[in-house]
Amino acid sequence: MKGGVGIVWFTNDLRLTDNAVLMHAMERHDVIVPVFVLDIEHYRSEQFGFRRMGSRRLKFLLETLTDLQRAMRERGAHLQVLVGRPTDVLLDAVKRFGAKCIYVKKEVGYEENRTQEEVMHAAWKHGAELTSISTSTLYHPQDLPFGVRDVPDVFTEFRKRVERETHIREALSAPERIITAALDPTSIPEGVDLGFEEPVHDSRSVLPFVGGEQSAFNRLHYYFDESLLVSKYKETRNGLIGGDYSSKFSPWLALGCISPRSIYWELKQYELKHGANDSTYWLVFELLWRDYFRFAMKKYKQKFFLLGGIQEKPVASAQDSKAVQQWVDGSTGVAFVDANMHELRLTGFMSNRGRQNAASYFCNDLAQDWRIGAAYFEEQLLDYDVSSNWCNWAYLAGVGNDPRGNRYFDIQKQAKQYDSGGEYRKLWLDSTKV
Ligand SMILES: Cc1cc2nc3c(=O)[nH]c(=O)nc-3n(C[C@H](O)[C@H](O)[C@H](O)COP(=O)(O)OP(=O)(O)OC[C@H]3O[C@@H](n4cnc5c(N)ncnc54)[C@H](O)[C@@H]3O)c2cc1C
């Protein structure tokens, strides 16, 4: 029976379209309280000497919240953006509104799950339940042809089985009206108010990324219908410079400004109009990697954060602060790696080709503890996503889901192949170093 107040705890599902958490709560309650918690203490906390969130990603998050607040206001609702610890903020809301349920997106990350468990236990003590709902993958976990424990350890096996044996659900429409309890409007702080530095925009950035659902759909419409670039994706995806070589959907996907299902169904529409080809298929193929790592992390949980990874293998564990610092600063002397590391530090983005080379160099050539590199990427990346980051790093360190074991990249060969004229290196380095 419908009734009472339900709290919708937004985390990284910051959208109205295809948001199963929001729709689930609205089906069960007359009135909802939408809340986002800015857990600044957590964002500032460090691992291996790096913050969990850098100022660029914080800015992107705050822009996203501003956009979500605007979209809610247009539907008669108010999003509460509150600074604090999730348990404290949500318990206050439970008590204030007499809510019996909190709804949140299901998580796969170890720390994210621990936070949800803390909230769940605290809420129980006040007679409220926490319900978590899957909403971030292309394939719904309930539709997988295997249970979580049996998720194949090899991507190709996973891909072939899901493609053959299951289907992708329709995306949900955004609600036309949202009824919230009487709420005071909350304002969204600036990063500097929260103790973060103001990031400087670098004109060499692949895109001037702006957070929010609206910008996510703008980018999708540009990449699909306006430019038809998606029809060439398979040939261009190893590029290094500019906005057009790949979709650049990742920062929006990471915060859930857009769902992979929305992208998939928009792509199907595109294929009806412009035709399907290897490139349009390849975009889905890449989104399947994203799904795969999410399910792999659900299976192996905290093992993905251990040095030996899911294979429990002995690997390099050096922590040479000088070597790490040179890598971070882009002063290793290996121009292709250095150029990529400059791009990451100055823009918050790095191409997939760059990430593979920079990470392989860190694990194999420098032979450092791979988790330090992953922690640095976590701080810097605009599109940081717990499973995509840590599982890709584990893969390159040879302790993840790679059937071939150690995936070594010959950096000089890669630079020659993907930056043959040295344009990318020239863009990011003094010409004397190229
Ligand atoms: C060491 C390392 C760390 C990474 N960390 C992250 C991360 O924190 N967040 C993140 O979103 N991606 C991560 N990736 C994957 C990939 O590099 C980025 O998703 C991609 O470069 C983003 O650009 P794009 O949106 O233009 O991708 P496109 O090439 O246009 O691909 C479309 C989408 O497919 C997904 N995708 C593509 N490649 C991968 C992949 N290898 N693994 C998982 N998903 C993929 C992404 O959601 C991407 O937006 C990492 C890769 C490596 C090698």
411-420: average pLDDT: 97
pLDDT tens, residue by residue, 334-365: 999 999 999 999 999 999 999 999 999 999 99
Is 317's pLDDT higher than 70?
yes
Q: Is 4 exposed, middle or buried (0-12, 13-18, 19+ CB in 10 A)?
A: middle
327-334: average pLDDT: 98
Query: Which amino acid does the sequence have at 196?
Result: F
Residue % of the chain over a pLDDT of 90: 94
Sorting pLDDT into bands at 50, 70 and 90, what band is 1? low
Is 403's pLDDT higher than 80?
no
266-271: average pLDDT: 98
Query: How many other C-beta atoms lie within 10 A of the C-beta of residue 319?
Result: 13
Q: What confidence score (pLDDT) does residue 408 get? A: 86
Is 149's pLDDT higher than 70?
yes
Taking CB atoms within 8 Å and a gap of at least 24, the contacts of 410-417 are 411/334, 411/336, 411/337, 411/357, 411/360, 411/361, 411/365, 412/336, 414/336, 414/353, 414/357, 415/335, 415/336
* Buried residues in 135-165 as b, exposed as e (16+ CB within 10 A): bbbbbebeebeeeeeebbbebeebbeebeee
Is 432's pLDDT higher than 70?
no
Counting from 1 in the atom list of ligand 1, the atom nearest the Cα of 260 is 47
Q: What confidence score (pLDDT) does residue 372 get? A: 98
pLDDT tens, residue by residue, 151-167: 999 999 999 999 999 99
pLDDT tens, residue by residue, 105-128: 999 999 999 999 999 999 999 999
User: Which strand (E) or helix (H) includes residue 311?
Assistant: none
pLDDT tens, residue by residue, 50-76: 999 999 999 999 999 999 999 999 999
Is 389's pLDDT higher than 70?
yes
pLDDT tens, residue by residue, 197-224: 999 999 999 999 999 999 999 999 999 9
pLDDT tens, residue by residue, 242-254: 999 999 999 999 9
- Find residue 81's DSSP bridge partners: 36
What average pLDDT is seen over the chain? 96
Residue 179 Cα to ligand 1 middle (Å)? 36
Compute the distance between CA of residue 401 and CA of residue 309 in angstroms, rounded to an integer.
Answer: 9
Sorting pLDDT into bands at 50, 70 and 90, what band is 45? very high
Structure tokens at 410: 């010959």
Residue 350 Cα to ligand 1 middle (Å)? 10
Domain 306-433: top CATH class: mainly alpha
Domain ranges across the chain: 5-135, 137-168+213-301, 306-433
Residue list, ligand 1 pocket, CB within 6 Å: 237, 246-250, 253-254, 283, 286-287, 289-290, 293, 351-352, 355-356, 359, 377, 381, 383-385, 388-389, 392-393, 396
Residue 412 Cα to ligand 1 middle (Å)? 23
Q: What confidence score (pLDDT) does residue 360 get? A: 96
Is 409's pLDDT higher than 80?
yes
The better pLDDT of the pair 185, 325 is held by 325
Residue 148 Cα to ligand 1 middle (Å)? 22
397-407: average pLDDT: 84
CATH of domain 137-168+213-301: 1.25.40.80
Is 402's pLDDT higher than 90?
no
CATH of 5-135, picked from 3.40.50.620, 2.40.30.270, 3.40.50.1980, 2.30.110.10, is 3.40.50.620
Q: Is the dihedral of CA 211, 214, 216, 218 positive or negative?
A: negative
Counting from 1 in the atom list of ligand 1, the atom nearest the Cα of 293 is 43
Q: What confidence score (pLDDT) does residue 344 get? A: 98
pLDDT tens, residue by residue, 368-379: 999 999 999 999
Q: What confidence score (pLDDT) does residue 434 get? A: 66
Q: Look up the pTM and report it.
A: 0.97
Q: What confidence score (pLDDT) does residue 430 get? A: 78
